[in-house]
């Protein structure tokens, strides 16, 4: 039985304090419990606050180390772009139109990115979060990859503990196709342990945010292969209402042909266009990679 607490004048346990205070003592089934564990109210409050701060520091340290692990291993951001964040993107570069707007819209995209809730359920965004298409036709090396990586970095920087899975997957088209094509040559043992085409597609569909960089940059031998892969990924994400960021070296018309084939076979692009809902960013200008140093 718990009785009413009694108060008693005591000395604070803290050797630096030792002031007299009215201690509340509770008798619980014959055991005396002193509220505040023998510390005066002020010291008890300080100890509690220090505990809370320590726990918060430990939580933030855990988050920081998880972010680092994902940034370097899971997210797929290339090592060359480990520092390619929005802050290091020079949108005022000579000869490039549209970079200021492109940066602004990509930053907005990453800043508003809705994280799934605590149970790992997708956000309930009306009709899903919009996808993003960033393209420039005439020049390569204009900064699309930097912007795409900056989106990935920003989303990782905003991750605060939920969901317990890397929230973003970055992959170049070249790497995506190479990984799938390599799987066709696996021997029997490798087939058992290494991801095949279906596993890779599943990984691309299930990523919270998928970024495919440099779409249409290289000539691909077999257009049916390209179309099959993109249909599986985009259709899968469309149904799961998960957005995709695509950077392309093709304008939307050429992208449609690249994804689609003939009349009536343009489902992939139609789905993508519906997902994008107007988030199409066009950059033109001189490639800074090819510019001679001054």
> To the nearest whole angstrom, how small is the minimum distance from the Cβ of residue 15 to Zn ion?
10
Cβ-based nearer residue to Zn ion, 15 or 264:
15
Cβ-based nearer residue to Zn ion, 40 or 142:
40
Rounded Cα distance between 60 and 278, Å, is 37
In the chain the beta strands, taken as DSSP E runs, fall at 6-11, 20-28, 31-34, 96-97, 132-135, 168-172, 209-215, 244-248, 280-282, 284-285
Give the C-alpha distances (Å, rounded to integers) separating 57 from 54, 65, 220: 5, 12, 50
Contact track, Zn ion, 34-53, x by CB under 5 A: ------x--x----------
Phi/psi of residue 256, nearest 5 degrees? -60, -45
Contact track, Zn ion, 17-36, x by CB under 5 A: x-------------------
Cβ-based nearer residue to Zn ion, 11 or 198:
11
User: Considering only residues 12, 149, 156, 209, which one is a binding residue for Zn ion as defined by CB under 5 A?
Assistant: 12
Does 99 engage in binding with Zn ion (CB under 5 A)?
A: no
Options 13-21, 72-80, 112-120, 239-247: segment touching Zn ion (CB under 5 A): 13-21
Tell the residue number behind the tokens 């419990």, with chain if given. Answer: 33
Options 14-22, 58-66, 109-117, 203-211: segment touching Zn ion (CB under 5 A): 14-22
Contact yes or no for 205/240 (Cβ under 8 A): yes
Tell the residue number behind the tokens 């009536």, with chain if given. Answer: 264
Residues of this chain that interact with Zn ion (CB under 5 A) are 12, 14, 17, 40, 43
């Amino acid at each position: 039985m718990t009785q009413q607490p009694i108060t008693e004048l005591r000395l604070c346990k803290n050797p630096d304090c030792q002031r007299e205070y009215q201690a509340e003592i509770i008798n619980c089934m014959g055991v005396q419990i002193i509220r505040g564990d023998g510390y005066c109210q002020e010291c008890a409050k300080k100890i509690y606050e220090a505990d809370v701060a320590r726990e918060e520091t430990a939580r933030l340290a855990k988050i920081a180390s998880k972010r680092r692990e994902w940034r370097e291993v899971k997210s797929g951001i290339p090592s060359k772009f480990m520092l390619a964040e929005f802050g290091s993107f020079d949108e005022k570069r000579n000869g490039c139109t549209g970079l200021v707007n492109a940066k602004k819209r990509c930053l907005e995209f990453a800043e508003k990115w809705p994280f799934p809730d605590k149970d790992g359920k997708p956000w309930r965004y009306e009709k899903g979060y919009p996808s993003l298409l960033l393209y420039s036709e005439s020049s390569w090396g204009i900064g699309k990859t930097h912007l795409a990586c900056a989106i990935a970095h920003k989303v990782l920087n905003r991750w605060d503990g939920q969901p317990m899975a890397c929230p973003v997957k970055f992959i170049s088209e070249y790497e995506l196709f190479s990984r799938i094509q390599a799987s066709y040559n696996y021997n029997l043992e490798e087939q058992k342990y290494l991801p095949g085409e279906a596993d890779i597609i599943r990984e691309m569909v299930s990523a919270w945010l998928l970024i495919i960089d440099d779409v249409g940059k290289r000539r691909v031998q077999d257009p049916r292969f390209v179309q099959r892969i993109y249909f599986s990924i985009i259709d899968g994400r469309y149904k799961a209402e998960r957005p995709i960021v695509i950077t392309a070296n093709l304008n939307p018309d050429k992208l449609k042909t690249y994804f689609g084939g003939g009349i009536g076979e343009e489902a992939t692009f139609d789905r993508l266009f519906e997902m994008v809902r107007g988030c199409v960013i066009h950059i033109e200008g001189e490639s800074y990679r090819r510019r001679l140093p001054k």
